[in-house]
């Protein structure tokens, strides 16, 4: 009991009233980190041994197989923590996977890596905050507010940093797709009018837009690969619309589906929709141009009015202060 009282008094003197609670929290985090791998470790099955033996044989057969098996081994290491790192709700998992696709992360374990980065950054920055609090206090008493700010805020920043990064990636990627979409429609119209099929036009767009708009080229290339694999074209286009999440792409897909369903001329539909997309791009440019004078006016007023006021009013204020000082003397 005396040892516990001594330890409690030292923690209270070093970190304030929340010192014992902070020590218990750190001990709990350490126990969770130590026990979690053992809890999530999968038991070996007989088929796993047979699979491992086959992998050893394939690894010795060729270098290409060796590389593939190494990458699959790394993926299996993360797969052990799938129940902890991935949402168990199907709806939440679908939404998370869709968000990662919109950000450009098409790997199978993208959601798993996202939550893993959240956990690692959150715990790491939380530990750094605790370490900074312990070292920076130098034996002095630390207030509760200071302790919370120096420990919880870095942990929260580490947890929400991947969310901010993915959200920013989604916005930048959608902006790039919207910028290059009118040019892609023009190219598709030229290809269709030249006698090429829709699949050939999509392949050409994926190749030609790769240099300027790689995100748009990736989407069209995925459409071409899925159609080549035998998936229905209408469903592939609808998947593209849902994957991108842009209203203009959704309208474009609806136009193509209606043209294929009712047998109307695809070139006429593309010509009308392409002209509409060009008009929208001009309207966006005009909107940005109209916002520019307001921003310039605010910047000019911010940097010119205060110095001008100092020059005009400064001498008068100085003279009044000198006069009042003389009266006071």
The answer to the question of residue 273 being in a domain is yes
Residue 103 included in any domain: yes
Rounded to an integer, what distance in angstroms lies between the CA atom of residue 238 and that of residue 44?
A: 41
* 292 domain residue, yes or no: no
Asked whether the predicted pLDDT for residue 164 surpasses 90, the reply is yes
What average pLDDT does range 168-184 have in this prediction?
90
Last residue of a domain, one of 171, 198, 214: 171
The boundaries of the domain holding residue 266 are 173-282
The per-residue pLDDT for range 70-126, each reduced to its tens digit, is: 444 444 465 666 666 777 778 888 888 888 888 888 888 888 888 888 888 888 888
Residue 59, pLDDT score: 57
Claim to verify: residue 18 and residue 95 sit in the same structural domain:
yes
In a domain? residue 322: no
277-289: average pLDDT: 85
> What integer pLDDT is reported at residue 88 of this predicted model?
75
Which structure tokens are listed for 34?
């130590």
Are 150 and 197 in the same domain?
no
Q: What is the pLDDT of residues 112-129, one digit of tens each?
A: 888 888 888 888 888 888
Residue 309 in any domain: the answer is no
Q: Which of 215, 251, 213, 253 is nearest to 236 (CA)?
A: 253
Q: For the chain, how many structural domains are there in total?
A: 2
According to the model, what pLDDT value does residue 150 have?
80
* Whether residues 84 and 26 fall in one domain: yes
**pLDDT given at position 18:** 62
Instruction: Please provide the DSSP assignment of 151-209 as one string.
Output: HHHHHHHHHHHHHHHHHHHHHHHHHHHHHHHHHHHHHHHHHHHTT--HHHHHHHHHHHT
Residues 28 and 44 in one domain: yes
- C-alpha–C-alpha distance, residues 24 and 7, integer Å: 12
Return the pLDDT at 172: 92
Whole-model pTM? 0.65
Domain co-membership, 221 together with 238: yes
Same domain, 199 and 74: no
Over range 275-302, report the average pLDDT.
83
Q: How far apart are CA 84 and CA 61, in angstroms?
A: 36
My answer on whether 146 and 190 are in the same domain is no
Within a domain: 34: yes
Contact 186, 273 (CB under 8 A): no
**193-216: pLDDT as tens digits:** 888 888 888 899 989 888 888 898
Report, as an integer, the average pLDDT of 152-162: 88
| 8 Å CB contact between 126 and 154 | yes
Domain-embedded: residue 140: yes
Q: Report how far apart the first and last C-alpha atoms of the chain are (Å, whole number).
A: 71
Instruction: Quickly list DSSP for 52-71.
Output: HHHHHHHHHH-HHHHHHHHH
């Amino acid at each position: 009991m005396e040892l516990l009282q001594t330890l409690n008094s030292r923690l209270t003197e070093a970190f304030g009233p929340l010192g014992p609670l902070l020590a218990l929290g750190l001990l709990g985090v350490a126990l969770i980190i130590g026990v979690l791998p053992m809890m999530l470790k999968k038991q070996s099955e007989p088929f796993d041994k047979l699979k491992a033996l086959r992998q050893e044989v394939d690894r010795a057969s060729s270098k290409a197989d060796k590389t593939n098996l190494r990458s699959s081994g790394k993926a299996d290491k993360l797969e052990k923590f799938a129940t902890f790192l991935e949402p168990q709700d199907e709806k939440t998992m679908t939404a998370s996977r869709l968000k990662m696709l919109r950000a450009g992360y098409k790997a199978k374990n993208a959601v798993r890596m996202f939550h893993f980065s959240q956990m690692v950054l959150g715990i790491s920055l939380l530990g750094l905050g605790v370490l900074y609090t312990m070292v920076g206090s130098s034996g002095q008493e630390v207030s509760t507010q200071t302790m919370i700010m120096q420990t919880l805020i870095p942990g929260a920043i580490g947890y929400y940093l991947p969310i901010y990064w993915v959200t920013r990636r989604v916005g930048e990627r959608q902006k790039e797709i919207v910028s290059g979409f009118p040019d892609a429609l023009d190219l598709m119209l030229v290809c269709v009018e030249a006698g090429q099929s829709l699949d050939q036009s999509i392949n050409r767009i994926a190749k030609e837009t790769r240099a300027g708009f790689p995100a748009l080229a990736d989407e069209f290339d995925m459409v071409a690969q899925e159609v080549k694999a035998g998936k229905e074209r209408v469903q592939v286009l609808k998947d593209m619309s849902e994957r991108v999440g842009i209203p203009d792409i959704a309208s474009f897909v609806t136009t193509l589906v209606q043209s294929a369903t009712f047998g109307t001329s695809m070139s006429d539909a593309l010509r009308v929709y392409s002209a509409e997309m060009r008009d929208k791009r001009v309207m966006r440019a005009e909107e940005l141009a109209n916002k520019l004078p307001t921003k310039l006016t605010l910047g000019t007023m911010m940097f010119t009015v205060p110095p001008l006021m100092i020059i005009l009013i400064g001498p008068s204020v100085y003279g009044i202060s000198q006069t009042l000082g003389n009266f006071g003397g």
